[in-house]
A and B are shown apart, each in its own frame.
Chain A
Amino acid sequence: MTDTISASPVSEGTDGAAIPAGDPSADVFVRGADQDPGVVRLLAPDGTRTTDPAFDAYRRRVAHLDVAALRGLYRDMVITRRFDDEATSLQRQGELALFAQAKGQEAAQIGSGRALAAQDFVFPSYREHGVALTRGLDLPEILHLFRAQEHGGWDPADFNFHLYTLVIGSHSLHATGYAMGVQRDGLVGTGDPDKDTAVVAYFGDGATSQGDVSEALGFAAVNNAPVVFFCQNNQWAISVPTSTQSRVPIAERGPGFGVPSVRVDGNDVLASYAVTAEALERARSGGGPTLIEAITFRTGAHTTSDDPTRYRTRAEEQYWEDRDPIARLEALLRAEGGWDDAFATEVQAEADALGVRVRDFVHALAAPAAATMFDNVYATEHAVVTAERTWFTDYQASFDDADGSHR
């Protein structure tokens, strides 16, 4: 990778020139992809509002977001990041088995999540903590999974937010099938904003290489399913750059399936909100699926098991830190009179309180009783599970003394 940071038009990767697959030094996506003029951006990295008339339609979709709403988005992003930092610390302290950070991707997640309606249904991947927040999930609940105490942790029906899916891309098909069910329920194109329903699948750049994602795009297109595929292209799939997954921008995959696609600056919360609102409206009104490529960057590691210094440069990290989504919105708030010390203090206090609550929550999570591992293998009784549970319970009891105590 060169040390020079410059805007690189994506066409460099599509001209047929010999770019060795997987060679980061020839990467055209890692940095500068957000500079493609086709990428929807309503807030420049310095927090000023853009003026390109090409994006006026998107601008109208955020025109109703007043100072209070912008403060809400800011608060959501700060809370998400604080959760991220606390959970990462807890993993370092040995309290969590693993943690997958969303850090750096808050604008893509909060912007898209806040565009959703209550009846919409979300299929997340495994770092959609910001989206979880927008769905009303109490963030500490996510840590059941990362403490390896449960595989899930919440009831998807309570939040219209499915469990995290760790096998990348699989849930893009679940989202498509769910959307096909919404169609059969007659909840598309009724014109009633409280009824018309859309489904969103979140996945990353790496997942787009999975066959399931291609199948999902195909099934969604031929069924005209009300589903939005929200790809957070965070530049790195563990240690490999996006160019290892695709020789064209990910958004270019959609049109081949007949799925309208859009690239958005994923570090711009307003643009993320606007493109998602447009895609959701298309889905709910019967216009079918959309693929959104949100160009962003995970400033943290892939997970706490990862070491990004082995594959990316400090210069690249700095490039993206200069485009931090939270700082960008703060700059806007300051410029438009939405910022004061009281607000800053209030958000900080809320974040601090969450931090305490996350720590207390995790420390209080007890290991489940051993025999509970036999629960819910099936919804109905299965003779093998029943027999094995009985054996195991008896086996455990055989270690008890006559007085019931354990040796």
Chain B
Amino acid sequence: MTTTETSVVGVPAAAPTRLPFAKAINAGLQAALAADPKVLLMGEDIGRLGGVFRVTDGLQAEFGTTRVVDSPLAESGIVGTAIGLAMRGYRPVCEIQFDGFIFPAFDQITTQLAKMHYRSAGRVSLPVVIRVPFGGGIGAVEHHSESPEALFAHTAGLRVISPSSPADAYVMIQEAIASPDPVLFFEPKSRYWEKGDVALGSGPYGAGEVPKTSAADLTTLNRAVVVRPGTDLTLVAYGPTVATALKVAETAAAEGTSIEVVDLRTISPLDSATVVASVRRTGRCVVVHEAPAFYGVGAEVAAQVTEECFYQLEAPVQRVGGFHMPYPPAQLEHDYLPSLDRVLDAVDRALSY
């Protein structure tokens, strides 16, 4: 997106604009930077280069080096200084270059960022966003394809969200920035180049002002969404696997099976009400994510569905995810990732009961 194009943000668009996923995030960041001088971007190579995926392209040129900050190559330092900036009243948005590079910052995120509000008895809030390009499927070398979201969802004090479409990405990044609580924002990097309709001018910063909305208005931080209605089975996904789930539903429809697809959008909190309402109607549930199934988000979904839908369930909840191993060499990732066929296989298993 060029600066000229993003300058329309703030004026509700008459018609949706078609944007790639990465550009939609860029537009959301631009809207927040333009509306609130306290919003800052920090990260490695995000300034002149615009980030290795160009998500921050053009933003340093527009907002300057003190607001779009090329940081030293130290993830703990990025998050640790973001905490200090937030204490001083700023709203830092940190980019972790790749999922596998987040662990140097794991201590600052889980020990400091997540706990500050609690240990200060509510006196200190840290509105810090940590953007993480995550997931595989792009043929990358090691440490560039991981899905560590469950580690953060398991940490109280953090919100963990993941958009699946450009439209959601544009609004969700703004809601993350508007959140008084820290947010881990997992961006499905394999989807960065997928285009979709984006309603520029929507979202908390879309009107060009510092939002006055309360957190309860931040819908995508709290609510899952049914992205395709169906009656025979509920397929739960988030981030990169929502596209897979929609293809599965389409394929299954051709075979006469009606699948409802739920996009979680938020992993912490988990909108179990939406999932449960769906499964109570369909009686069957399959959960799919790229992260290893073992102790994964799907395990929590399965447990909650089992607790809440015991009498409606026609089959055990099926999980489809990565295997319990380090992310394999990319030449093998096609067999590691939950593919259309593997999800269909799980659907068949659920329907066989």
Contacts and interface: CB of A to CB of B under 8 A. Distances in A.
Nearest to A179: B84
A107 interface: no
A181 B156 contact: no
Interface of chain A, main secondary structure:
helix
Most central of B71, B83, B159 by chain A CB within 10 Å: B83
Interface in B33-83: 40, 66, 71-72, 74, 76-77, 79-83
Nearest to B70: A222
B119 A173 contact: no
Interface residues of B, number: 53
A156 B88 CA distance: 11
A167 B82 contact: no
B141 interface: no
B125 A215 contact: no
A307 interface: no
Contacts of A185: 88
B87 interface: yes
Contacts of A381: 215-216
A378 B111 contact: no
A384 B74 contact: no
A380 B118 contact: no
Interface string A160-174: 001101010010111
B118 A377 contact: yes
A383 B271 contact: yes
B179 interface: yes
Contacts of B80: 170, 172-174, 176-177, 212, 215-216
A380 B80 CA distance: 22
Contacts of A287: none
A406 interface: no
A201 to B, nearest CB: 10
Nearest to B222: A383
Contacts of A181: 84-85, 87-90
Contacts of B102: none
A376 B83 contact: no
A150 interface: yes
A147 B107 CA distance: 25
A340 interface: no
A381 B218 CA distance: 11
Interface residues of A, number: 43
Interface in B255-297: 268-273
Contact of B77 (A150, A173, A182, A378): A173
A76 B269 CA distance: 48
A262 B176 CA distance: 43
Given A163-B119, A381-B216, A182 B112 contact: no
Contact of B124 (A156, A167, A382): A156
B212 interface: no
A218 interface: yes
B112 A375 contact: no
Interface in A239-279: none
Contacts of B112: 165, 167, 170, 174
Contact of B85 (A162, A177, A215): A177
A364 interface: no
Contacts of A375: 121-122
A320 to B, nearest CB: 33
A160 to B, nearest CB: 11
Given A215-B74, A215-B80, A376-B121, A384 B269 contact: yes
Contact of B84 (A150, A176, A215, A218): A176
B214 to A, nearest CB: 8
A180 B86 CA distance: 10
Contacts of A172: 80
A195 to B, nearest CB: 15
Contact of B270 (A150, A151, A167, A383): A383
Nearest to A215: B77
A380 B268 contact: no
A219 B74 contact: yes
Given A218-B74, A219-B71, A380-B215, A155 B123 contact: yes
A151 B74 contact: no
Contacts of A383: 222, 269-273
Given A178-B88, A184-B90, A378-B157, A173 B120 contact: no
A356 interface: no
Nearest to A123: B84
A378 B121 contact: no
A379 interface: yes
Interface in A327-362: none
A286 to B, nearest CB: 14
Contacts of A173: 76-77, 79-81, 83-84, 108
A152 interface: yes
A379 B117 contact: yes
Nearest to A372: B121
B84 A180 contact: yes
Given A173-B77, A181-B89, A219-B74, A380 B179 contact: yes
A216 B181 contact: no
Given A174-B87, A376-B122, 9 more contacts: A152-B121, A212-B76, A215-B74, A219-B77, A378-B157, A380-B179, A380-B221, A384-B268, A385-B156
13 contacts: A150-B121, A172-B80, A174-B87, A177-B88, A181-B89, A212-B80, A216-B80, A218-B77, A219-B72, A376-B121, A378-B181, A379-B215, A380-B215
Interface of B: 40, 66, 71-72, 74, 76-77, 79-90, 92, 104, 107-108, 111-112, 115, 117-125, 156-157, 159, 179-181, 214-216, 218, 221-222, 268-273
6 tightest A-B CB contacts, nearest first: A177-B84, A173-B80, A181-B88, A177-B81, A380-B215, A151-B119
